[in-house]
Amino acid sequence: MSVPRNLTLLVLCLCTLPLAALAGSRAQSPKFVSRSRVPRNNGGKTFTLTDKFNGQTFFDNFDFFNQTDPTHGSVNYLSKGDAQAAGLAYVQDDGTVIMKVDNTTQLSPGQFRNSIQSKNTYSSGLFIADIYSMPHGCSVWPAFWAVGGNWPEGGEIDIIENVHDATFNQMTLHTSAGCSLDNSTAAPSNMSGNYKRTEAFTSTILSTACQSSPTYNDGCAFQSTDTASYGHAFNMIAGGVYATLLSSEGVSIWNFPRTNIPSDILASQPNPSTWGTPAAFWNAQTCDTSEHFTNLQLVFDITLCGDWAGATYTSAGCPGTCAEAVADPTKFDYAHWAVNYVAVYQ
């Protein structure tokens, strides 16, 4: 969802950085390609837990963006105090962290519904998010992502993102010039149909140009082929784990359903070399991670309508208008994040 914006936020290094907005605001037609370079997934090196956000202290490490949504969503982002007072950000007795859209107040069409966006920060590493359920529904546009300063110079990794009641997750990079998704081994142009994929990733390429700007912000994107990777289907299996590895070899994203989370993740001893093919992989040979990704901040947010969900509301088969959906509180019973924890390893 990338439109440049300046945000004031508390990051874990206690500094203030400018951010960009959410990525991937234009959906594209998928195409299959073949790949020959397979990530080594950090060669089985040992990772050390540096931070874990969960339970009653989760929000101690986050600040809340409470300015106008730069992606033009129909939301009022609240401060931490206001969001907690409104019951939009809280921790359940079982330790589950809830971040939600207001689903109780009836509005008039055109009024904005309260929502929240929380932030924290990191540089490179292994980021593991255990998510019980994610937002979905007509007009809803959620994302879990990482972004650096001076967008797009610091880079952006969209780990979970889509709109409405989409089935498949979309994963996207946004960067400065000089980064692309490597499809140099794509099938010859005289071939047709769905091209065979090799073992570099399991998803479908949507776009290959990562360079982003206010006038072109598609980024280089994958669409998952897992029908339980996003939205309602993800929630019906009690969610699972998204793991993102940013290393000198590139960027890799895995998605594990609740019933198939690797034992090493459960034991807090993650070993990506044993996880098999990632859902998405951007090779550092065509996108130098040290050059394009710095001072990344982890972000959860929910917006409504806006540049992507608003533009696709009718074509997604949603009833009425996006503004009418925002006015109706019954539309947002499923518009919330339920997060078990976020862990960062180096």
CB 180 within 8 A of CB 208: yes
CA angle 133, 49, 89 (to 5 degrees): 35
Which tokens belong to 16? Answer: 């203030």
Identify the active-site residue in 153, 156, 199, 291: 156
Residue 161 annotated as catalytic: yes
Which tokens belong to 255? Answer: 């998605």
Residue 156 annotated as catalytic: yes
CA angle 15, 20, 22 (to 5 degrees): 125
Question: Active-site residue numbers?
Answer: 156, 161
